Amino acid sequence: MKQITTTAIIIVLYITISTVSLNSGDVSALGVNWGTMATHQLPPKTVVQMMKDNNVKKVKLFDADTNTMVALAGTGIEVMVAIPNDQLKAMGSYNRAKDWVRRNITRFNDDVKIKYVAVGNEPFLTAYNGSFINVTYPALFNIQKALNEAGVGDFIKATVPLNADVYNSPPDNPVPSAGSFRQDIFEEMKLIVNFLAHNKAPFTVNIYPFLSLYLSSDFPFDYAFFDGQNTVSDNGVIYTNVFDANFDTLLASLRALGHGDMTVIVGEVGWPTDGDKNANIPNAERFYTGLLPKLAGNRGTPMRPGYIQVYLFGFIDEDAKSIAPGNFERHWGIFKFDGQPKFPADLSGEGQKKILNGAQNVQYFQNQWCMLNPDAHTFSNNTNQLGDNVNYACTFSDCTALGYGSSCGNLDEVGNASYAFNMYFQVHDQKAEACDFEGLAMVTTRNISREQCNFPIQIGDPTSGHIDHKHRFGSITGAGLMSMLVLFMAL
């Protein structure tokens, strides 16, 4: 972050709550980004019921999974399906694009209320080093053409969810009104923006004030929220939060291309609850307590007062997401992995915070945990053995809560080892062989959670000891390095 008004840089992340009541003045049509990078997933029908129970009217997906689409059929929930980045190159073939539309759009169109197709997910992210720059526009062009040819292009639009790092303001004039698209992708952005305008499709951007804090120690803490405790002036226009400044930097960038009136959707915005010193429930509550009434009141931004369609990120935690951007990546949900709410929230934006409606009839494995065996070899003689086993456990499970400033960051060496062993044990369906670690571990029926640090029991059939796994871990190297650091600090 060079300047606080140039954009809240966003890495790769994911849920959405979309506020769409144009006339009612409240957040009456909520949507959520539904990510599925989890080792143990709630049944799709359970997740859809959670949406209905919480008056969620829109959902943004990261693929077009058949089971998900079937669960959404007949609900009336508006859907944005997605083409993952690794399929963009294939969509450069029009025949492949037509086939994708046939299999994922027209096949479900009578039963599922499909509104948008997300072509990629932040494909121009600087961290991707240009991998998708040359394949994104051809994929967008072919998908929209295929939608038009299928007779659905008038009401189903293709868009490209982009990271806010595609635009910025110059260092010598770091204000929103000076915004422009990055020079290294300027021609590609011009092609995409002109194409979206021609097809009356929206520009989709992901904005994360949290990441402004995460990426810059100099960033004013309160400017990430909506309390107005920090202000920035842009030629007399006062900005009280980085969300508004970021959004208006995009509007200035679009205006520079002759499309300052283009519809803009905020595809992702939210606050994580673990994995970093600023990722916690109090900060998440503060963020949503400011954001939701702002959206419900249709206050907009200085450059665009009024309604803004926004998707909050995210609906449910995903314990198998890559932690390359940071340990917080697995903790964006307003619901925990088991579909239970983390904190009170008022999704109507009317200031009446209440406990959200969680998943019903969730099954969990048995009430048992894996812990460091107190009768095992002493630490002094087995530091390397213990370290190797903790590292192994964290590489193949989720130890992100052990990081500095996180919910379990204050555990001692016994707690660190027990937490790591238990996470591995739960991810592997509480199988006996998953709680051994060369004789260092043992199973207990005593809840070994500590104060703010929860030792979870994973969801699954308590009688079967098995559950199908759709995803495994997205960043083994990152998890392993993090767990080694934790152990080193503890010992």
Q: Half-sphere exposure of residue 189, counting CA atoms within 13 Å on the CB side?
A: 28
Whether 268 sits among the annotated catalytic residues: the reply is yes
Tokens describing residue 206 = 């992901």
Amino acid type, 321: K
> From start to end of 88-142, where are the E strands?
113-119
Take residue 192 and report the two structure tokens written for it: 């995409």
Within 13 A of 441's CA, how many CA atoms are on the CB side?
30
What secondary structure letter does DSSP report for 184?
G
Q: Using CA atoms, how far apart are residues 5 and 68, in angstroms rounded to an integer?
A: 38
Say if residues 63 and 72 touch (Cβ distance below 8 Å).
Answer: no
Token pair, residue 52, equals 């209905």
Identify the H or E element spanning 210: helix 209-215
DSSP letters of 299-364? ---SSS-S--EEEES-SB--TTS--SS-GGGG---SB-TTS-BSS-B-TTSSS--B-----SS--B
Largest CA distance in the chain: 71
Cα–Cα distance between 189 and 183 in angstroms, integer? 10
**Which is catalytic among the residues 122, 188, 318, 329?**
122
Q: Which of 78, 188, 268, 413 is catalytic?
A: 268
Catalytic-residue membership of 451: no
The C-alpha atoms of residue 221 and residue 201 are separated, in whole angstroms, by 35
- CA angle at residue 384 from 379 to 385, to 5 degrees? 80
**Token pair in block for residue 197:** 């305008």
How, if at all, do strands 369-372 and 441-444 pair? antiparallel
DSSP state, 271? Answer: -
Helices and strands (DSSP H and E) totals, the chain: 11, 15
Give catalytic residues, as residue numbers: 122, 268
